[in-house]
Structure formats: C-alpha cells, structure tokens
Chains A and B, each alone.
Chain A
C-alpha cells in the first residue's frame, strides 16, 4: 500500500459511528460489532471503501454503528441491495449483515441466488434461532418443537441447516463462528474478506431475551470442550479438553471416537476445506446431539466472481465494438432522410 506512508493507520475508533448502540444489554451482537470494528482497520482498505448493508431485524441495525458507508434496507433484501452496489462499483468492500429470519426466511430466495452467482460480498449471518425484534417467534432455524409466542404447542417446522443450504446453493465459502469467541470471530471475518466471491459466515449469536442459551453447549465451560470442533485446513478433526476425541468416518457416517487403543490420530478425519463431500458431511453435524459443532471454514473454493465476469464482458464489448457512439446507435438499422 503506497498510501500507507501518508495515511495514518486506522483504528477501531475510526470505524465506530456516533450513534448510540441500542441492542439489549448482554446481546451477542455487541461482540460481533466490536470484532468487526477491530478487524476492519487490519484489512488495509480505506474506510470509505467499506459498505455495510443490512435487512431488517436486530442484527440489521449493525450498519448504523459502523462509521463506514451503510444502508439499512428492507426485510430480506440486504443481499440484493448489496448485489446492486457491488455491480455498480466492484472496487468497494461490501458486507451484508443479516439474521436467520432476514436471510433464511423472507430473504431466502435472494440468499441462494447471491451464493450461486458468487459476487464478492461478505455475508455475516447472525443466527440466534429466534425472531428477536418482533419479540420472540420461532425462526426458520429454530429446532422442531420449539415453544414460542407463535407456537405455544411447539413448532412443527423442520429447521433449515444454514451450511447445508449454502452448499446446496453452490456457495464458495462457508464458515461458522460464535459471538463469544472474539479471536475466532476476527479470524473468520478476515478470511471472509480475503475470499474472492460470496462468503457465507454463520455466526452463532445468543439472544438472551428470547432464546437464551441456544448455544450453551458450545459456550459453557462445562460442555464446550466436548461440543466444539475447531476446523483447521489440513489438520485432523480433534477436540475435547485434551484433544483426545476425534471424528472418524465409517463409510459416509461420522462418529466421535476416543484416541487410545482402538483409534490413533491417523484414523481421524483430516479437514480439507476444498472437499465438497466433506463439507456436506460437516454440514450434517448441525442438529446432531451426538456430534460436536464445527466452527471454522467448512468449505472454500476459488472461483471467478460474478461481477468480475460481468465487467469483463463490458470491457470486451468496448474492445470489440469500440466505445459506444450514441449518434451511431440511434441511426442503426434502416434510416431515411426527408428533406
């Protein structure tokens, strides 16, 4: 960066807007905001090149608190507004902040199409498995049987599995992190930024008012070591307090095994983030009580982004046809003159 010499390095403060943050005290969103504000200065971009776009929901207030360009749009459409921003100006760093209702329910159609097109946009999906802003109805990621205001006898909906949806939609980057793990969150935000194409980052986020403890097994001291599987590319899938547990594949079926007499580290599945089949298996861990929760980059593959291809076509058109001449265009086809 040649500008680094003359531009003072940015800090977290540069990314903090003057607006009062209005989430409930103790909300997981605070942590995500803090990590984003800490990470942005590290990315080596000018502040004016960042655009944060959101839909509707608690998490969608996020852009108001980032001192960047921001657009708090309408329910479910943050992804499409972001698409328009990125198409019009591919040089911008475009971020979508969304929730499980915004992205997977009302905005489900747009989410899958953004993923398959692979625009270079970073999605941060705050998944708290509940509708918070509308005060506690079940969401498309709520577990079946959930008792909420709109399901007093328990929800009969089968939930979406976000990484599996993303894989089905041909996403090129699928990762998961959790609000309380600041370092991991920062790493995942950074990895999202550096990925070419759409990054789908699911952030497990606790809503302490309407769905407190939704991810307690992964966050509480007593259980987290046995429930959290940190994925690292090229590394065996080991977890547990002493990394004594691992994931072993029996056919296509993943099992938790103990390292010891029966299984050695060499028997443990080694994570390959470019392996789509492995990603499918990992995405199936989501609602399985017998398997730990994978966190990290589940899948990543490098493909040309949509906007690169769109702009390449426009450039080729100029190379082939020359810069458009509007007078000639109006006169295209048969013309005749009346004197």
Chain B
C-alpha cells in the first residue's frame, strides 16, 4: 500500500523479532487472521513459525473461556524454529481471550483489545469481576484499547450490511492494525479476500474496508507513537513458500507417487488433526492419486492393504485413536510383507483425549501396540516442512524394503507452519520397487532378495504369478501356510531383520554442536525447534551442550549408541510421560533422563533451557 506509506509520519523502528498471539472467540476468525499475518510475513521474507490453538468444539458458547481460539506466530530477521516462548503482543478480541492468555504475555508486552466486547455479560462469562481495562490490572503492559466494532460499523455503514456481517469483519480491522504496527503490506490479504469471497462481493468489500480501516487507524491514532520493522531474514538461497505440516506431508506423498510412477491410494477416515491430509490428497486427482474416505479406521487401513496387494503406493492417515483401531490390520501388512505407509498425526490422549491439542504419546503404541512379535519401521518428522521429507522417506522405505512404515507427526507440526525451501526433486533419493514378472521357474512369493530382504511384489494381473497370501504363518520361500515351529521362529526373526536392515540405508544422525560435551539433548518429532533454540542459547552462554534429533525411531541410526556414550548426561524432552527415554535406556543401558510435559502444548525453548541450566548448575555445585 504505497499510498498509505506516503503519508506516514510516525517513526519506523527496527527490531529483530516479534511474537504475536491473536486470540478471540471461536467464531472471531482468529485462525484466518493469524494465517494471513503468517502468509504476508513469509512473503515479506522473514523467517517464522506458527502455533494455532483452537478448541475441539466447533462453536463453544460465545464469550466463554472454553471457546477461546488463538494463533501465535514468531517472525524474525534471523533463523527461528519455534513460534516463540512468550508473546510480545496479545490481540484479545474479548474478555475471555484476555483471561486465558494474559499470563503468557511477557511483562511490558502490548495488549490490543476490542473494547466493544468488554461489556458486562462478556466480562462475567470470562470471570472478570471488574473490567480490567478500567482498573490497574494491566498496568504492567502497554494497553491499546480500541472500539473496533464501532470503527468498523462506521466504515461499513453505507454498505447496508447486517450487524452480523459487520461484526465478522472486525478481525480484519485487527489484522490491518497489526499490519501497520509491523509495517507489512496488505496486498496478499487483499488478494486472498477477493478470491475467498469471490461469489459474495459485498463480503469482500466489507473485509477490505475493515482491513484498511485498521491500517489507517494505526497511522492516525495517538495510541501508537511508532511502528516497527523486522527486516528480511537471510535464509539460504532458493524458492520458498509458507507451508503447514499436513500440507507438506501430502505433497511429500504425491512426490513419492510421481517419482515412483505408482498410483497412490490414500484411504482415510476423518479425524482431527489428520483430516487435512485427506482433504489435500483428494485435490490431487490429476496426479494419479485416488482417495477413499472409508466407513471407519479399520476399513481405511485394510483398503490401503488391498491397494498395496494390487500394486499401488498405499497410504492411510489417522491420529492416536485411529491407530489403535488399525493395529490388527497393520500386523497383517507386517506378516504379508506388503509396502504400506501409515501416518499418525498425534494428539492428546488417552481415548478421545484432547483432539485439537498436541502430544507425543503414541510412540509406544506404534512401536509395540500389536499382537505377536510385530516390528515395523517408525519415522518422525521434526518440523512442518520436514513432514515433506519424511513422507517421501516413508514411501521410499516401504517400497524398497516391502514393509509397512509408520510416520509420526503431531497436531503442532500438522497445523503449524514455517517457510519451506522447495526441494530439488532430482536430488531426492530414488524410489525403488520389487515388481515381479514370471520367469518360467516355480514362483516363490516369499523368497527374499538378500540386499533388502524384500519379497517379490507380484501383483494381481501378472500372468504366471498367481499366489495366495494371508495372515497365517507362511513358509519362508513358497509363502504357503506353514505351522512348523522352526519356520515360525525363522519368520519371526526375518520380520525383525527386515526392520533392522533399514538402518543400513539411512544416513547417520548428526550431532549439532560439539561431538562431546557435558550434556546431549536427544529428541524426536516436534520438539526439534524448542530444543534447538534452547541449545543455541546455552551454547552462546558457554555451556557444553549438544543436540541430536532422531527422525528414524525404528530402526535407530547405527551411530546412535556411539554418540550417546560420549556424553555423561543425556536429556530427552518429550511431550509424554517418557517414552523414547525408556527405549533408549533399555536399548543402550545409558542413564538418560526425561524432561516431560503433557499439557497439550509444545515445549518452549525457555523451559528446556531452564531445565538444562539447572542440571548443569547442580553439577557444578555438587
């Protein structure tokens, strides 16, 4: 908005990074507001990370604490990996949002509120005995209290819109104001609004006006003496886009399909927070992607197994409760040695648990939650954009080794976003498969190829390879039903070796920081960013702390044991009660300690940093 800029007379100050949290009622459009700010910020060239947080109820009672939805992002001129520990700015559209989020705001931070919503009824619903805008309770902060509702109504009055439509535009006022405060251009959001409400021009107009009104208000109000500029980050050269984990994951799957030349069959049952993968896949029909919304989780995984038997790149995606239902079928995929990718976007458990909140508590389930000796390959993505790489890796391993592979992500990764440097597809590792054709000799459907331990993928329709597979134990060569005790033991070992051999095909895991030191922080999954920021800060303060982050959880990278013994202390932060830590202790007999949090929220870098400092200070004192 060059016209807007021209008139600017206020000071533009440069800062390095900012964390903003937008919070309001479920119906206030906070997710859209936050994602628009993120998109604009990404295009502007900052590094960023986001954390959406919303209730499981689609519309909890208006104004209630339970109905508060929020979206946090950190953006910076430097490389950042987390959505920020403490917000610098809290946008609270109503008293409930202020109540829920105020304690997280850093001391001295800025609060932007829609004054109009701080009425008696909403204050009571949120449990404020007095209006915090009127007493001293917000004195530690910079309060910007604006009657957004009235300003938007004034701006829209000649459009003859209903009060409801006008009320729904106040989020754009808040967005426009924040765009001014952080010197962001409006174009991307203007284009977005025009496209999103294409069929309803009056809605486009209302939102555009509200957005611009917010922006102008920032420029003219005396409440805001200055605004801030966060310069572009110096990211590695390349083409970037902002991406959410679930989107990146879907793109990784499609890429694997394209690189392999295989048809993708993605079978799923709607479940939070994995449904977005099914939604995305269903739009890729012209990439030979077939999606199947099954009647339940079991039907989804078994349809995928059927598709795999028929020669497709078969994938199913779910969350923890769905994984529990799929367990028996996954055992079938293991014993029939069929390639299958199972995605588990973890959420808070047990049972229905916290559907919209994040957790890492399904590691044990995916490692051990099946009848019999049923090992399989387990991978975990470390960041939203890493979901692309690990989805591709899951497909690559499944087809190369003829095994089922589980990929763990979580709600925080799935819904969080960050700038993603687009990969060079020619540099991805090749997709391989074991399609068989008749040779004239007797066909043995369970005879393994020694370098991968893969059996032939003999798909129906291939002449001369007619054969039967099933869940009963099979002869190690012919694949016929076999109840012989020695054969069963051999097959049990074979299924384990099929997992173990994958370790020889993956890169050794790297140590971030020094190869030895006082403490190694070992992590997996979405704790990556928080651990990295804690380790960076500690190292800057002179602590001998290193990081190792696992993306392959079964099998482990072959160098893992060698690295572990080089550190006297190993700390494993997890969003669970300590699952990887038990596996590591059992496997390597090292005195690894856990740092655990199960609040449905990711770790902040600060929490991990504090904990490590405490451990290393205690050591010095002792």
Contacts and interface: CB of A to CB of B under 8 A. Distances in A.
Interface stretch (B218-226, B306-314, B548-556): B306-314
B238 A113 contact: no
Nearest to B465: A48
A190 interface: no
B306 A318 contact: no
Contact of B286 (A46, A82, A324): A324
Interface stretch (A73-81, A178-186, A287-295): A73-81
Contact of B298 (A80, A318, A322, A333): A80
B494 interface: no
A336 interface: yes
B240 interface: yes
Contacts of B285: 313-314, 316-318
Nearest to B310: A88
B339 to A, nearest CB: 12
A48 B460 contact: yes
A331 interface: yes
Given A73-B332, A77-B298, A87-B307, A329 B284 contact: yes
B312 A336 contact: no
A110 interface: yes
Nearest to A322: B286
A323 B286 CA distance: 5
Contacts of B314: 84, 88
Contact of A331 (B239, B464, B471): B239
A64 interface: yes
A310 interface: yes
Interface stretch (B37-45, B131-139, B528-536, B582-590): B37-45
B461 A48 contact: yes
B430 to A, nearest CB: 15
A72 interface: yes
Interface string B432-467: 000000000000000000000000000111111111
Q: Which of B255, B285, B298, B462 has the most CB of A within 10 A?
A: B285
B490 interface: no
B236 interface: yes
Interface string A311-337: 101101110111110110111111111
Contacts of B463: 46-48
A113 B292 CA distance: 12
Contact of B306 (A50, A88, A311): A88
Contact of B237 (A56, A311, A339): A339
Contacts of A332: 241
B254 A89 contact: no
B302 A88 contact: no
Contacts of A110: 295, 298-299
Contacts of B464: 48
Contact of B461 (A87, A91, A324): A91
B115 interface: no
A67 interface: yes
Q: Which of A314, A321, A337, A339 has the most CB of B within 10 A?
A: A314
B510 interface: no
B425 A85 contact: no
Given A113-B299, A314-B290, A334-B42, A71 B306 contact: yes
Contacts of B296: 109
Contacts of A92: 310, 460-461
Contacts of A124: none
A176 B575 CA distance: 55
A122 to B, nearest CB: 15
A326 to B, nearest CB: 5
A321 B465 CA distance: 37
A338 B236 contact: yes
A19 interface: yes
A64 to B, nearest CB: 5
Q: Which of B309, B423, B461 has the most CB of A within 10 A?
A: B309
B43 A337 contact: no
Nearest to B304: A84
Nearest to A78: B302
B299 A80 contact: yes
Contacts of B304: 84
B288 A314 contact: yes
A329 B460 contact: no
A53 B264 CA distance: 21
B205 interface: no
Q: Which of B238, B251, B290, B470 has the most CB of A within 10 A?
A: B470
Given A334-B242, A337-B240, A338-B237, A73 B286 contact: no
B165 interface: no
B309 A81 contact: yes
A73 B471 contact: yes
Q: Interface extent on B, as a size class?
A: 35 or more
A49 B241 CA distance: 45
Nearest to B248: A330
Nearest to A83: B303
Contacts of A236: none
Contacts of B43: 334, 336
B615 interface: no
A326 B304 CA distance: 23
Q: Which of A46, A316, A336 has the most CB of B within 10 A?
A: A336
A69 B295 contact: no
B368 interface: no
Contact of A88 (B42, B307, B423): B307
Contacts of B254: 324, 326, 329
B258 interface: yes
A80 B287 contact: no
Contacts of B306: 53, 71, 80-88
Q: Which of A321, A335, A338, A339 has the most CB of B within 10 A?
A: A338
Contact of A71 (B263, B299, B469): B469
B294 interface: yes
A246 B303 CA distance: 45
A190 to B, nearest CB: 21
Interface in B479-503: 480-481
Interface string B38-62: 0100110100000000000000000
B367 to A, nearest CB: 21
B396 to A, nearest CB: 15
B286 A74 contact: no
B152 interface: no
A297 B42 CA distance: 63
Contacts of B294: 80, 83, 113
Interface string B588-616: 00000000000000000000000000000
Instruction: Kindly list the 5 A-B residue pairs having the minimum CB-CB distance in the complex, ordered from nearest.
Output: A84-B306, A72-B470, A324-B287, A317-B285, A84-B303
Given A63-B470, A84-B310, A329-B251, 16 more contacts: A19-B481, A47-B466, A53-B306, A73-B302, A74-B328, A83-B294, A83-B306, A88-B263, A310-B290, A316-B285, A324-B287, A330-B241, A330-B422, A332-B241, A338-B239, A338-B240
29 contacts: A63-B470, A69-B467, A70-B467, A72-B472, A73-B305, A77-B302, A80-B299, A82-B306, A83-B303, A84-B304, A84-B309, A85-B309, A86-B306, A87-B265, A88-B265, A89-B310, A91-B461, A92-B310, A109-B295, A324-B254, A324-B258, A326-B425, A330-B425, A335-B239, A335-B241, A336-B43, A337-B238, A338-B45, A338-B235
